[in-house]
Structure 1
Amino acid sequence: MSQPAMINRYRWYELVGIYAGIFVFLSFILSPFVEGFLVSLKPLGLLFSSPYRFWPEDGSFEAYRTMWVSVPGFARYIFNSFFISTIVTAVVLVLVVPSAYAFARFKFRGSGALLAAFLAVNMFSGAVLLIPLFRLMRSLGVLNTYFAMIVPGVAFLIPSGIWLLRTYMMRIPRELDEAAFVDGASHFYTLRRVILPIAMPGITVVAITTFIGSYAQQFIFALTFNSKTEYMPLPIGLYAYFGRQEVIWNELMAASFVGIAPAVILIFLMQRYLVAGLTAGAVKQ
């Protein structure tokens, strides 16, 4: 007599409760995005009409066309944000990977205090450090360049990347390092050929969080360190829809969805490698 599969261990009312909870959770998470998309479809004159209507009767994608006219060069803003975030992510990974390996594998004097200092950096708002950073950028001669936003982005995102990747590397068995050392491998060779392939899921998580963080925090740095339009990122382009008399909400929402589309696509593609890395080795050969 065949036994029921272990995966069918929930009763029907338990499944109903689980899926109901998932539905409520997703409703709270996705409702702002749904409402923002519906606002982008509504004519500007009907946004604040009464009574409120969830689905626009005269909805259209006109705002997705006129937004390019309202803010000329909007594609340049998107490119700048994508370019800055990509460079910041690459630099952060180059610096974070060996640093996280060192903190995870080696015990040296002051390592705990240094990790605490890294964590304390994230407690400071970027606005607190604007004046010192401005003087530093001016002394380096990088104002009104991409570097004026890349350097602060790297500095603020390295600490969180080290903490995330260090925790992941600490779960990798030390016996792998010891076996490599017995075979005569150096620390750098062990990191490159042994640890990195196993740590790819953690590195992917750090890359995704770094890219999102860099994509989102460019507004205050751009306003302070840049005055040239050709170097301005996406948040500055979105800010242009805030006029003195009114805010063009439908075009602002349309521009927001268009602006985040490249980041969403990139993150979606990287998640495939993340899932593949997490499931690697789960099945015996």
Structure 2
Amino acid sequence: MSKPNTMIDRYRWYELAGIYAGVALFLGFVLAPFVEGFLVSLKPLTHLFSSPYRFWPEKASFDAYFTMWERVPLLGRYIFNSILIASVGTLIGVILITPAAYAFARFEFRGRGPLLGAFLAVNMFSGAVLLIPLFRLMRTLGLLNTYFAMIVPGVAFIIPTGIWLLRTYMLRIPQELEEAALADGASRFYTFRRVILPLAMPGISVVAIYSFLTIYAQQFIYALTFNSKTEYMPLPVGLYAFFGRQDVIWNELMAASFLGVLPVFVVFIFLQRYLVAGMTAGALKT
């Protein structure tokens, strides 16, 4: 009996070289704006538009990361507001999305198909189209100039996509596990809490990452429309303070932007560990 060819699944050296070159080229296009923005934050303001162009600044320093706090004294408050709005919105969204996705994945009820189609149709509209109706709704509910004026719209826009994402994942969970638990006398809620939720944690992590990033990125338009109080402003609106009447403090603006993006990277990396670990554990089960 001949031995299986161990080289059948391996790439040749030039194929690997092409793959790595393509990945490096793609990462170069993706990371180039971030690298340039970081270098701008290290340059003195007088050297930003010097000629000829220098990739690495001649007098690089982290002064902008300290002077930006003097330029915008409430910058820390703005960053806190952004994290708070995105965190609370993500928590509310995951709590609402998880049971809804389970219902759409497991139960047959009238109007399920059209309702799922309506969820997709919602994603076709930009948030700017619904600003006026949302403003009237926020005013009627008395939520203007509060945190919830920015949390509620963010949650409303992540729910349709979140249900689709998590429903698809829950459809992959074997239904026999629930049937066995129900046959042993467990209630539907107990089965959902002790059987479905642990298995669905990788999918829930994906929804949580998507929700946090989406709400964090959409705060600007909601804050300008539904809030006029400085103490509730998120970071995107607070960055406007670096735009002067005659010039823009580009190095401090880039420094504040990188500081504001840092929570997103921390949350993504933290949840990604659990996401990869959960998916790998599920793949190894037989």
Q: Same fold (TM over 0.5)?
A: yes
Q: What residue in structure 2 maps to residue 166 of structure 1?
A: 167
For residues 62-120 of structure 1, the C-alpha deviation after alignment (integer angstroms, 9 at most, x for no partner) is 11111111111100000000001110000001100000001011111111111111111
- What SS does the aligned partner of 2:14 have? helix
> 1:37-48 to 2 correspondence within 5 Å?
37-48=38-49
Give the Cα–Cα distance (whole angstroms) in 2 for the partners of residues 216 and 14 of structure 1.
Answer: 38
Amino acid of the residue matched to residue 261 of structure 2? Answer: I
2:37 equivalent to 1:36: yes
Larger displacement relative to structure 2 (188-197 or 175-184): 175-184
- The residue type equivalent to 1:184 in the other structure is G
Normalising by structure 2, report the TM-score: 0.94
Matched AA of 1:279: T
| CA deviations over 1:12-32 (Å, ceiling 9, x no partner) | 222211211111111111111
- Displacement of 1:48: 1.6
Pairing 1:85-104 to 2, within 5 Å after superposition = 85-104=86-105
Once residues 157 and 253 of structure 1 are traced to their aligned partners in structure 2, the CA distance between those partners, rounded to angstroms, is 28
How far off is 1:230 after superposition? 0.7
- Any idea what SS the aligned residue of 1:280 has? helix
Q: Could you say which residue in structure 1 is the equivalent of 2:178? A: 177
Distance 2:233 2:125 in 1: 24
Whole-angstrom CA distance in 2 between matches of 1:243 and 1:86: 31
What is the identity, as a one-letter code, of the residue corresponding to 1:146? Y
1:159 positional shift: 0.7
Partner of residue 119, structure 2: 118
Shifted more, 119-128 versus 67-76: the winner is: 119-128
How big is the alpha-carbon RMSD for the aligned residues of Structure 1 and Structure 2?
1.9
Per the TM alignment, residue 281 of structure 1 is displaced from its structure 2 partner at its CA by 3.9
Q: What is the match of residue 155 of structure 2?
A: 154
Unaligned runs of 5+ in 1: none
Aligned mates of 1:147, 1:6 — CA distance in 2: 58
Superposition deviation, residue 239 in structure 1: 2.0
Deviations 1:115-155 (A, max 9, x none): 11111112221211111111111111111111111111111
Per the alignment, residue 130 of structure 1 pairs with 131
Q: Could you tell me how far apart the structure 1 residues matched to 2:63 and 2:245 are?
A: 23
- DSSP-derived class of the 1:129 partner: helix
Instruction: Tell me how far apart the structure 1 counterparts of residues 243 and 271 of structure 2 sit (CA, whole Å).
Output: 34
Question: CA offsets, 1:166-225, max 9 Å, x none?
Answer: 111111111112212211222222211111111100000000010000100001111111
Residue in structure 2 matched with residue 67 of structure 1 by the alignment? 68
Q: Which residue of 2 aligns with 1:205?
A: 206
Q: What is the distance in 2 between the residues matched to 1:236 and 1:263? A: 17
SS at match of 1:172: coil
Structure 1 residue 247 displacement after superposition: 1.6
- Correspondence for 1:237: 238
Structure 2 residue runs of 5 or longer lacking an equivalent are none
Q: Tell me which residue corresponds to 1:217.
A: 218
TM-score, with structure 1 as normaliser? 0.95
